[in-house]
Copies of this chain bind each other. A is one copy, B any other.
Amino acid sequence: MKSLIKRSFSDFFFEYETPRQVLVKDRRIAVVCRIIQLGVLSYIIGWVFVYEKGYQTVDTAISSVFTKMKGVSFTNISGKERIWDVADYVFPEQGDSSFVVMTNYISTEGQKQGKCPELPDAKNKCTSDADCDEGKYKRTGNGQMTGKCDTNTSTCEIYSWCPVEDDSKVPNPPILWTAENYTLFIKNSITFREFNVVRSNLVESVNQSYINTCLYHSQTDPLCPIFRLGDIVERSGFNFSEIACKGGAIGVLIDWDCNLDLNIRHCKPKYEFYGLYGTGKNDKEEKPSLGYNFRYAKYYVEDKVEKRTLMKVYGVRIDIIVHGRAGKFDIIPTLTAIGSGVGIFGVATVVCDLLLLYLLPKKDFYKSMKFKHTEVQEENPTLPPSEKEREIQKE
């Protein structure tokens, strides 16, 4: 037993197996096959390694965004002059990655709880009390029906904040059309945890004096983190005057694609702008539910009665999305790519063998060269072993 183990061990460690190869000296097939093999090799080196960077391991970013709007608008509505600043037109105020800049609105002041007739539009008409179900509310309604039909307006009477908001006529041109000149400042911090790299979009070339004066331009100032709202809208494909009237949504993509095998200074963001829910550029078809709006109320107490001013806000909704990807050389993806490459080399060999054994004129000769046949061993003790072998090789 011990000697058997010892013998297997010595066989394993002291013998080396290498595949026996047949060397075919046929020029045509050799050239064709070398070309196939060189092609596979250049694909592996060229595409997988150099272009797609298959030798790198990839990490996605964890990021945080902080924004700040700046700018004022001056309006003169029915002789009433008014200035609008950041605290008036940005929702919410904290500077999140997703916010709305108000460009238009419908204001219904001094609403208080009570009963009043619905709006006189097609959806809520009635001719008698029977058309108005007490206690129910219509899907497009503003309140709960009392059961009475108001004869003046021919609409159902409802419990609601009265008077009911009339949003049939949207102001055109938009009230805050000068919002085009507002500026947006974006601060973005990204972390690639696997590589312990922290970056901010305020890269080396962006210092305080540059920030104070610059304005983003895709060619001349691609790293300036200050953006003019009108520029953002134009670059997304929307037309500012259209989007300012009924609102719209724009995505600002901060794209990081960093090769960490190079100096960290080459890890810089790229800004892209997308119109969401129906881009102005490409779409000709009528899209449902265009525009962007929401309602909010400012509550107050007047003469001991709770009142509110309801605002239907139309605006530019900005969603800042960060897409971060970094690659760095790592031994495992490199060896995996090499391993797969060797596998594909094997496919090249199979293809060449097929040519050799099935297409060439001398294929039978090559078959005999390539394959060593075995048969059931003949029971003929008289022939010496070498003779036996020679017989076998005749097949």
Q: CB distance A342 to B346 under 8 Å?
A: yes
A30 touching B18 by the CB < 8 A rule?
no
Most chain B CB atoms below 10 A, which of A30, A187, A289, A299: A289
Task: Establish whether residues A22 and B18, one from each chain, have CB atoms under 8 Å apart when the complex forms.
Answer: yes
Residue-wise, chain A 34-46 has the 8 Å CB interface mask toward B (1 for contact) of 1000000001000
B372–A23 contact, CB under 8 A? yes
> Is there a chain B Cβ closer than 8 Å to A216's Cβ?
no
Tell me how many residues of A have a C-beta within 8 Å of chain B: 136
Instruction: Judge whether A374 is part of the interface by a CB distance below 8 angstroms.
Output: yes
B295 touches A211 (CB 8 A): no
Contacts of A251 in B (CB 8 A): 62, 64, 189, 191
Q: Is A144 touching B249 in the complex (CB atoms < 8 A)?
A: no
Mark each residue of chain A from 173 to 202: 1 if its CB lies under 8 Å from any CB of chain B, else 0.
Answer: 000000000010101010101000010101
Q: Assuming A95-B294, A191-B251, A211-B288, what are 19 further A-B pairs, CB within 8 angstroms?
A: A14-B27, A15-B25, A16-B30, A16-B34, A20-B22, A68-B294, A81-B113, A83-B143, A85-B161, A87-B297, A187-B277, A208-B288, A300-B300, A301-B302, A342-B344, A343-B343, A366-B374, A369-B374, A386-B390
A residues neighboring B (CB under 8 Å): 12-27, 29-31, 33-34, 43, 47-48, 52, 62, 64, 66, 68, 70-72, 74, 81-83, 85-88, 91-96, 98-100, 113, 135, 137, 139-144, 158-161, 183, 185, 187, 189, 191, 193, 198, 200, 202, 206-208, 211, 249, 251, 253, 274, 276-279, 287-289, 292, 294-302, 308, 310, 317, 319, 321, 323, 332, 335-336, 338-344, 346-347, 349, 352-353, 356, 362, 365-366, 369-377, 385-386, 389-390, 393-394
What are 9 A-B interface contacts by the 8 Å CB criterion? Answer: A16-B30, A17-B21, A21-B370, A24-B374, A88-B297, A95-B294, A206-B288, A342-B344, A365-B377
